């Protein structure tokens, strides 16, 4: 719930602390008087101005993702993320009640919920899509869902997070370093070059750059060092409906590729998780 994470949030306009007010409806108010109503679905929008809302996942994309993830196809990835995040929390030099788990680009809250099952901390699910935030707000009792732009200054106070998650999402190293406690860790998950290889070949989907590992290290080099790497690989047997879901839940949905799906089949899942320690 928002009230569980408000201590780690900050006003997107003036960066001051937020408090919860309960009348006439729940809302967050900052020291300078900026007010943010909590939606009836349980999330709060802390977008400064319009943000980059035009890039947000649509209701259709979020529905496809919820259906695909709900069927358990990416359970292996979720187990990997939860495992490395739990180790990071255990090793963080910060008391659990003095920090949170922050998921940047959280989507439906699927991965964050699995992490919170493994650690006794509250979690902030941050995504620019209000449709995703609606689901994330209900994904776990200790999740507070926030609509915000990961490319902009995050409405999160400095050193708030024992772990920052970033799973298949935009990466903002400067802000990730600012909100991460010095004793915490960032967990960044990216696809391997052969992730969804069969669908890339069949439907002309966007391919993963072979230089992605090198570029990721370069992107974080000034603020983080790679502490460890972990991989998850599997072969899924998907129906035509499930193939359309996995195509329609990601960036390929903008190119209307899901409508081209003709059949199901074997699909490769291959991702790499980087555990980053702050410099």
Domain segments of the chain: what residues? 54-278
Average pLDDT over the chain reads 90
Select from 73, 70, 90 the least CA-distant residue to 82. Answer: 90
Query: Which alpha helices (H) appear in 6-74, and where do they start and end?
Result: 59-70
Specify whether the CB–CB gap between 223 and 255 falls below 8 A.
no
| Residues 6 or more apart whose Cβ sits within 8 Å of residue 150 | 104, 105, 126, 128, 169, 170, 171, 172, 175
pLDDT value of residue 51: 52
Please tell me the predicted confidence (pLDDT) of residue 125. Answer: 97
Token pair 């899942």 is found at 269
Residues of the chain with pLDDT under 70: 23-25, 49-54, 92-93, 95-96, 252-260
| pLDDT at site 9 | 96
How many Å apart are CA 138 and CA 109, to the nearest integer? 8
Beta partners for residue 42, in sequence order: none
Hey, what are 186's tokens? 């960032």
Q: What is the pLDDT of residue 151?
A: 85
Phi–psi pair at 150, nearest 5 degrees: -65, -20
- Tokens at residue 198, please? 């069969």
- Classify domain 54-278 by CATH number: 3.40.50.150
């Amino acid at each position: 719930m928002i009230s569980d994470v408000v201590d780690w949030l900050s006003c997107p306009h003036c960066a001051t602390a937020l408090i919860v007010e309960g009348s006439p409806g729940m809302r967050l108010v900052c020291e300078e008087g900026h007010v943010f109503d909590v939606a009836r679905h349980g999330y709060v929008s802390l977008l400064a101005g319009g943000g980059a809302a035009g890039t947000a996942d649509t209701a259709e994309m979020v529905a496809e993702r919820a259906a695909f993830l709900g069927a358990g196809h990416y359970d292996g990835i979720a187990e990997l993320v939860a495992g490395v995040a739990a180790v990071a929390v255990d090793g963080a030099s910060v008391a659990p009640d003095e920090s949170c788990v922050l998921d940047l680009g959280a989507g439906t809250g699927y991965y964050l919920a699995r992490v919170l099952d493994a650690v006794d901390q509250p979690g902030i699910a941050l995504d620019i899509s209000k449709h995703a935030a609606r689901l994330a707000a209900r994904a776990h009792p200790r999740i507070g869902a926030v609509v915000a732009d990961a490319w902009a200054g995050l409405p999160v106070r400095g050193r708030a997070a024992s772990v920052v998650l970033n799973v298949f999402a935009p990466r903002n190293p400067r802000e990730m370093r600012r909100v991460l406690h010095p004793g915490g860790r960032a967990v960044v998950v990216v696809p391997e070059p052969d992730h969804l290889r069969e669908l890339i070949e069949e439907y002309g989907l966007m391919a993963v750059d072979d230089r992605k590992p090198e570029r990721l290290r370069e992107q974080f080099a000034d603020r983080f060092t790679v502490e460890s790497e972990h991989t998850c690989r599997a072969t899924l047997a998907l129906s035509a409906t499930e193939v359309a879901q996995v195509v329609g839940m990601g960036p390929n949905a903008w190119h209307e590729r899901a409508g081209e799906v003709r059949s199901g089949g074997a699909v490769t899942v291959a991702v790499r998780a980087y555990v980053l320690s702050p410099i």
